[in-house]
């Protein structure tokens, strides 16, 4: 089975997730600065989630670039990743509308952690079903420092949110900044 429809479907779902997230930025009643300021936390959480979804789309793009054919297992591992990403608008809205309260900020980390695990499962699924053909991908992933540090940082942020939501927020921002540099690992190994 070809990968074209898998890419098109994933692009569609991520494009919709990234765009319906803006519906949480509800048009306020008033037309003064006050009503705009009240939207600031929702706006900030929107920016953060937009960047995260952009990172996932970018890395997904890079990873599938190395793949030629997909198995049934890869299709489901991909749907599993999309499931967790589809929950991002909900936790983004909940965190923003509650001004980064403890529980929503912690749950935001849970969804990011589950998405990171789903991405890792998808990666392994591609490598294992390829029967050694994606040794390049396996090699690139082997030294994957960012992919190992991110879940650790989420795992720290999830309980930390109950102690200080700003620390949790700072960890989420840190991970996003770390990933903003696109996934050059694969590019580099292919170039070799």
16 or 152: whose CB is closer to a second copy? 16
DSSP labels for the chain?
A: -BSHHHHHHHHHHHHHHHHHGGGGSPPPS--SHHHHHTTHHHHHHHHHHHHHHHHHHHHHHHHHHT--B--HHHHHHHHHHHHHHHTHHHHHHHHHHTTS-HHHHHHHHHHHHHHHHHHHHHHHHHHHHTTTTTHHHHHHHHT-HHHHHHHHHHHHHHHHTTT-HHHHHHHHHHHHHHHHS--HHHHHHHH-
Q: How far is the CB of 66 from a second copy (least distance, A)?
A: 11
- The binding site for a second copy (CB under 8 A) comprises 1, 5, 7-9, 11-20, 22-25, 27-28, 30-33, 36, 47, 50, 54, 57-58, 61-62, 65, 72, 75-76, 79, 82-83, 86-87, 89-90, 93-94, 97-98, 101-104, 107, 180-182, 184
> Which residue, 20 or 167, is less far from a second copy as judged by CB?
20
Q: Which is nearer to a second copy, 128 or 152 (CB)?
A: 128
Q: How far is the CB of 6 from a second copy (least distance, A)?
A: 8
Are the C-beta atoms of residues 110 and 158 closer than 8 Å to each other? yes
Which lies closer to a second copy via its Cβ, residue 92 or residue 152? 92
- State the first-to-last Cα distance of the chain, in angstroms, to the nearest integer: 29
Please, which residues bridge with residue 69 across strands? 2
State the nearest-atom distance from the C-beta of 188 to a second copy, in Å. 12
For a second copy, the closer of residues 84 and 172 by Cβ is 84
Minimum Å distance from CB 57 to a second copy? 7
Please, which residues bridge with residue 2 across strands?
Answer: 69
Q: How far is the CB of 2 from a second copy (least distance, A)?
A: 8
- C-beta closer to a second copy: residue 34 or 192: 34
Minimum distance from residue 13 beta carbon to a second copy (Å): 5
């Amino acid at each position: 089975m070809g990968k074209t429809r898998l890419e098109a479907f994933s692009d569609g779902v991520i494009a919709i997730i990234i765009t319906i997230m803006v519906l949480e930025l509800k048009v306020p009643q008033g037309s003064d600065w006050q009503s705009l300021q009240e939207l600031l936390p929702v706006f900030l959480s929107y920016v953060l989630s937009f960047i995260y979804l952009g990172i996932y789309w970018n890395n997904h793009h890079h990873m599938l670039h190395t793949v030629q054919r997909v198995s049934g297992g890869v299709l489901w591992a991909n749907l599993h990743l999309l499931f967790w990403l589809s929950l991002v608008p909900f936790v983004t809205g909940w965190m923003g509308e509650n001004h980064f309260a403890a529980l929503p900020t912690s749950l935001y980390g849970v969804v990011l952690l589950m998405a990171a695990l789903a991405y890792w499962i998808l990666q392994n699924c591609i490598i294992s079903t390829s029967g050694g053909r994606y040794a390049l991908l396996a090699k690139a992933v082997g030294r994957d420092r960012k992919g190992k540090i991110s879940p650790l940082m989420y795992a720290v942020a999830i309980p930390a949110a109950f102690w200080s939501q700003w620390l949790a927020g700072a960890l989420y921002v840190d991970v996003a900044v770390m990933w903003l540099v696109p996934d050059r690992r694969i590019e580099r190994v292919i170039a070799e």
